[in-house]
Amino acid sequence: MDAIFLQILNGLDKGGAYALIALGLTLVFGTLGVVNFAHGALFMVGAFCAVSVQALLKTSERVRDESITFFEAYKEVPYLETWWGETGTMIIDWAVPISLLLVIPFMLLVGLSMERGLIRHFYKRPHADQILVTFGLAIVIQEIIKANFGANPIPVPAPDIVAGSAQIGSWFGLSDNVVYPWWRIIYLIFSLTIIAAVFAFLQLTTFGMVVRAGMHNREMVGLLGINIQKKFTIIFALGAVVAGLAGAMYTPILPPDYHMGMDFLVLSFVVVVVGGMGSLGGAVAAGFLLGLLQSFASMNEVKSILPGIDQIIIYLVAILIILLRPRGLFGREGVMED
């Protein structure tokens, strides 16, 4: 029971990350009709925003390191600590939450310039061209990150106060052995909040209504005299912000490196397709579903019956869903079928 409860939590947590990435991907695909292979790179850029903020807060004075004697070594003392002492240390400790303030404007900017500068010229081009150009862009982005931050993962710890685990078992009357890291609980709540916000935005605002109409029938909305183009640009930027936020918040769970975008890319496409191309609800549902399945497939009890199942479960489910229900869980008919 305890084990299953924990695996459900793991699955939801993983699912939260998948859902956030897939949500942005689907937004862009559903509205602009663009298959964006650089979406994983946006997730990574968000994560490296957190890295940069941490580095910025840690901007340091180089002090000669006396403990190393055989060559001139320096250690770094952050200015914030020299100036403000304890308060400075605390600010550095809160780098990840603080970084969210940077992520939103920065990712908006990245999204806007990407759409204006590149993506919009590819609306009419075949999907293969879109894939290639965004894939090329993803390579360029990751190489730039690598040139600046190196190839090794960079630790970005969560604030000290939430670094440990919560006695979550006692909340639900389970054994004391059931603990779960605070940051993962926060991540789950965070992803649910973002998902809710995006849905509220699309359901409750006029802007959202136009966008939803545009997803259904772009020509018609255009004929009504609405500048759908401009709205789509904003949607693209919104997708970038969602991916960036997901990335920045994920850094304490997974120390970011330049390749993390590519690692998430394939998976997020599978999530989108399983959910149904262009279906926002589908993307979210599929994200959580695949997260849960992956967690359960990794259990020893399951693996002893089906060796290797944890390695292939995601793909197996994708194949089954596409064959049995070609539009995905909640997809509309005819999307991307030719």
As to burial, measured by CB atoms within 10 angstroms (0-12 exposed, 13-18 middle, 19+ buried), residue 169 is: middle
CB of 207 to other proteins, least distance (A): 28
**Minimum CB distance to other proteins smaller for 130 or for 231:** 130
CB 314 within 8 A of CB 292: no
| Closer to other proteins by Cβ: residue 206 or 300 | 300
Alpha-carbon distance of 84 to 77, in angstroms, equals 12
Q: Which two tokens stand for residue 17?
A: 């990350």
Phi, psi angle pair for 243, to nearest 5°: -65, -40
From the CB of 106, what's the least distance to other proteins, in Å? 21
Q: Under rule CB under 8 A, which residues in 51-80 are in contact with other proteins? A: 65, 67-68, 70-73, 75-76
CB of 28 to other proteins, least distance (A): 14
Burial 149-162 (b: 16+ CB within 10 A, else e): beeebbebebbeeb
Report the SS3 class of residue 258: coil
Identify which of residues 132 and 192 has a Cβ nearer to other proteins in the complex: 132
**Contacts (CB under 8 A) with other proteins, residues 224-253:** 252-253
Of 121 and 216, the one with the shorter C-beta distance to other proteins is 121
In single-letter form, the type of residue at position 317 comes to V
Q: Which is nearer to other proteins, 124 or 230 (by Cβ)?
A: 124
Please report how close the Cβ of residue 201 comes to other proteins at its closest, in angstroms.
26
Return all residues near 125 (Cβ < 8 A) that are at least 6 apart: none
> Measured from the CB of residue 242, what is the shortest distance to other proteins in angstroms?
19
Region at 68 (left for phi over 0; alpha for psi -120 to 50; beta for the rest): beta
For 181, phi then psi, to 5°, come to -60, 135
Q: Using the minimum distance from each CB to other proteins, give the nearer residue, 224 or 306.
A: 306
184/231 with CB nearer other proteins: 184
Treating both helix axes as pointing N-terminal to C-terminal, what angle do 228-250 and 39-57 enclose, rounded to 10 degrees? 50
- Both structure tokens of 265: 């890319």
Residues 113-152 touching other proteins, rule: CB under 8 A, are 118, 121, 125, 127-129, 131-133, 135-140, 142-144, 146-147, 150-152
Q: Which is nearer to other proteins, 66 or 219 (CB)?
A: 66
**Range 15-54, binding other proteins (CB under 8 A):** 17, 35
Exactly one of 7, 26, 54, 191 binds other proteins (CB under 8 A); which one? 7
The CA–CA distances, whole Å, from 172 to 2, 109, 169, 176, 178 equal: 10, 43, 5, 10, 10
User: Which among 22, 30, 92, 82 is positioned nearest to 58, based on CA atoms?
Assistant: 92
**Counting contacts by CB under 8 A, is residue 165 touching other proteins?**
yes
Residues 170-209 that bind other proteins (CB under 8 A): 175, 177-181, 183-184
- Residues within window 263-322 making contact with other proteins, judged by CB under 8 A: 263, 266, 269-270, 273, 277, 294-295, 298-300, 303, 307-308, 310-312, 315-316, 318-319, 322
Cβ 239 to other proteins shortest distance, Å = 18
The whole-angstrom separation of Cα 34 and Cα 219 is 16
Q: Applying CB under 8 A, what is the total number of residues that bind other proteins? A: 93
Least spacing, CB of residue 216 vs other proteins, in Å: 19
Shortest Å, Cβ 182 to other proteins: 9
Dihedral of CA atoms 275, 183, 235, 196 in degrees, nearest 10, equals 70
127 or 216: CB nearest other proteins: 127
